[in-house]
Amino acid sequence: MAISSVESDLYQKLRLLLKQLLFQTGIPHLKLDLEITECVISQSVNSISILESFCLTKISNRTTPAYLDYPYQLAQNIKFQEKVIGKVILNIPESDFPSSRFSEVFESLADNITRLLCRNKLKVESRKYFSSSLAWAGESDSLLKLEKNLERLSNKGKVFVISGEPSSGKIIAGCSLHIFNTNRESPFIITNCVDWELENYEELVDSLLQKSRNGTLYIRHFDLVSPEVRSGLVTKIQQSLKNNRVIFSISNESEQGVFDKMKHDKVIKIELPTLNQRSSDIKVLGEKFLDSFSNFNLLSVDDSCWNFLQSVKWNSGFEQFELLMFRLANYSNKSTVYLSDLMFLLPLVGVELAEETNNKVDKSIYDIAKEIARGDISESYNRHPAINKALFYVAKNFTKAFDLSMLARNACVSSSHLSFLLRSQLNINFKQLLNLCRIEKSMILLVEEPRMQITEISSILGFCDLSHFEKTFKKQIGNTPKEFRRTKKLVNHCKLQLVTENKVFD
């Protein structure tokens, strides 16, 4: 059947889900019939029929898949909040795949479809309350468990406390609780404690509860107000709570004790998973952040970066990761970010690789720039001989004016071959290498030589003018040289932990 434009997004996600199952089994094609009899999740879906195939060459005759026989069939009920709302029927052709294992492979199909429907509902309904749609990103076990929990609890209580790291999705969780509630057509009012005039908070609470009558009042950043106000606010809400539901959002779990006084109302506490618990979602989360930061050109990040970031233990969680993505988006004008770029930026968001990791990933370009700036020159960097010669020449002359051809002559190779070696072995080009060394040296001079003028530093390091220096510095560090000097801080090299299955490298 034809799929309407309203259903197309969900339809494509169902196709992707089916394709994943196909590759698991090696079956040439499947036919899926999905019917939602009660549209409590998605108003757009009544029925969808999908015929999916990934390898038609395996079919012995030229008959199209639509006319093939399907001797095996699996039928599962689609449930939402423990209620059957539809059915999915999977028709499976003859194959070498053991029929006894069909149920093992497809046992989670119904749950996955329910999750897709729930995400589709959240995306559509959240537009009523926000300028853009809200949506969860990722497929980690901890996130899937959270989504099921929110669906289950949406009709269970009147007072909720959502705790989680900054940027972990507390507002998405709060919106989910409202949208999946039976009174989802009632008001959903959002307020931020930070913006309140605390002298009149009791009158404000009365007004907000009245506006959200029979609906949901979502209170953001509850842990940022004083303990006295928190205690008084909880008491006031307990006294005034009628048919409303109240959701408190906090970032500090230790502040949950203030809700213990609500003895007559069951307080449901929901803890969101940390970024470390959602490490498999790093790529999709990072791409989502980058998309929000990039106004024009889409930035491509090499897979080696995502693979490495999945092994990182994040001390500040989502907030730290979001800052790193912001740095990446503003790092340079190039279209692709490589591992060497990432290694340069990690210390700028408060993290750096532990020494034991130096031999495990290709991140030595940052260490090399640091050595060069400090004058700790090594004649061998364990690289291609031409790279060693080029780095040694840069170490001696990075404050002077020279170009790629001059560097190539001293490395005894052609300019094109040196460019290739720099990219393939260090994931960097000539200008970036030069700027890394100069900016690293400028940070040292800005802090250790407070009487030296910024214009003098710019001139000493070989920049053509002050404007060029300031622009390059801000692009790589995030602050102007003047702002950086005012803080009087060099990047503090705190250790970054890599987590393995059996051991944590400090």
What is the DSSP pairing of strand 216-220 with strand 29-36? Answer: unpaired
Residues 6+ apart with CB under 8 A from 215: 178, 183, 186, 187, 188, 189, 244, 245
Overall average pLDDT of the 379-394 stretch: 73
All CATH 3.30.450.40 domain ranges of the chain, comma separated, are 8-123
Residue 135, Ramachandran bin (φ over 0: left; ψ between -120 and 50: alpha; else beta): beta
Q: How far apart are CA 445 and CA 443, in angstroms?
A: 5
d(CA 329, CA 294): 6
Give the mean pLDDT of 420-431.
Answer: 79
pLDDT class of 295 with cuts at 50, 70, 90: low
Q: Judging by DSSP bridges, how do beta strands 216-220 and 245-250 pair with one another?
A: parallel
pLDDT over 80 at 9, yes or no: no
Q: Which amino acid is at 160?
A: F
pLDDT at residue 59, as a whole number: 36
CATH architecture of the domain 8-123 equals 2-Layer Sandwich (3.30)
SS (H, E, C) 215-239: CEEEEECHHHCCHHHHHHHHHHHHH
Greater confidence, 272 or 117? 272
* Strand ranges, E, within 392-501: 495-499
Residue 2: partners with Cβ closer than 8 Å, 6 or more residues away:
none
Residue-wise pLDDT for 126-142, tens only, equals: 888 888 889 899 989 89
Residue 46's pLDDT band (boundaries 50, 70, 90)?
low
Secondary structure, 3-state, 290-308: HHHHCCCCCCEECHHHHHH
Query: Is residue 121 a contact partner of residue 179, using CB atoms and an 8 Å limit?
Result: yes
- Mapping DSSP to helix (H, G, I), strand (E, B) and coil, where does residue 428 land? coil
CA distance 343 to 503: 22
Q: ∠ CA 126-178-77 to the nearest 5 degrees? A: 90
Residues of the chain with CATH 1.10.10.60: 279-487
DSSP 98-140: -GGGHHHHHTTHHHHHHHHHHHHHHHHHGGGTSSS--------
The pair of structure tokens assigned to 180 is 């999946």
Distance of CA 299 to the CA centre of its chain: 15
Asked whether residue 37 carries a pLDDT value surpassing 60, the answer given is: yes
What average pLDDT does this structure show over 171-198? 87
**pLDDT at residue 38, as a whole number:** 63
- Asked whether the predicted pLDDT for residue 210 surpasses 80, the reply is yes
- Residue span(s) of the chain under CATH 3.40.50.300 come to 136-271
Beta-ladder partners of 498: 312, 505
Question: What is the tens place of the pLDDT at every residue in 189-200?
Answer: 998 887 777 677
Scan for tokens 């990761």, then name that residue.
Answer: 321
In DSSP terms, which residues pair with 143 in a beta bridge? none
What pLDDT score does 278 carry? 93
Greatest mean pLDDT range, 162-171, 394-403, 490-499:
162-171
Predicted local confidence at residue 233, as pLDDT? 81
Does the pTM exceed 0.75? no
Phi, psi dihedral angles at 293 (to 5 degrees): -90, -25
For range 384-410, the mean pLDDT: 84
Mean pLDDT of the chain, nearest integer: 77
Burial of 23 (0-12, 13-18, 19+ CB in 10 A): exposed
Percent with pLDDT over 70 in the chain: 76
Ramachandran bin of 251, using left for φ above 0, alpha for ψ from -120 to 50, beta for the remaining angles: alpha
Distance between CA 230 and CA 228 in Å, rounded? 5
Q: Spelled out in words, what is the top-level CATH class assigned to the domain 136-271?
A: alpha beta
Residue with tokens 């200008």: 431
pLDDT digits (tens, 9 = 90+) for 347-357: 778 765 544 44
* H helix and E strand count, the chain: 19, 15
Q: For residue 499, what pLDDT band results from cuts at 50, 70 and 90? A: very low
Beta bridge partners of 268: 160
* Whole-number pLDDT of residue 273: 95
Task: Give the bridge partners for 192, in sequence order.
Answer: 220
Task: Evaluate if residue 77 carries a pLDDT over 80.
Answer: yes
Rounded to whole angstroms, the Cα distance separating 503 from 506 reads 9
271 — pLDDT class (breaks 50, 70, 90): very high
Q: Which CATH number fits domain 279-487: 3.20.20.140, 3.30.9.10, 1.10.3720.10, 1.10.10.60?
A: 1.10.10.60
The residues, ordered by sequence, that sit 6+ positions from 52 with a Cβ below 8 Å of its Cβ are: 15, 18, 19, 22, 29, 30, 31, 32
- Specify the pLDDT at position 142: 93
Alpha helices in 180-330, H assignment, sequence order: 201-211, 227-240, 282-293, 303-309, 317-329
Helix, strand, coil percentages in the chain from 3-state DSSP, rounded to 5: 50, 15, 35
Confidence of residue 501 (pLDDT cuts 50, 70, 90): very low
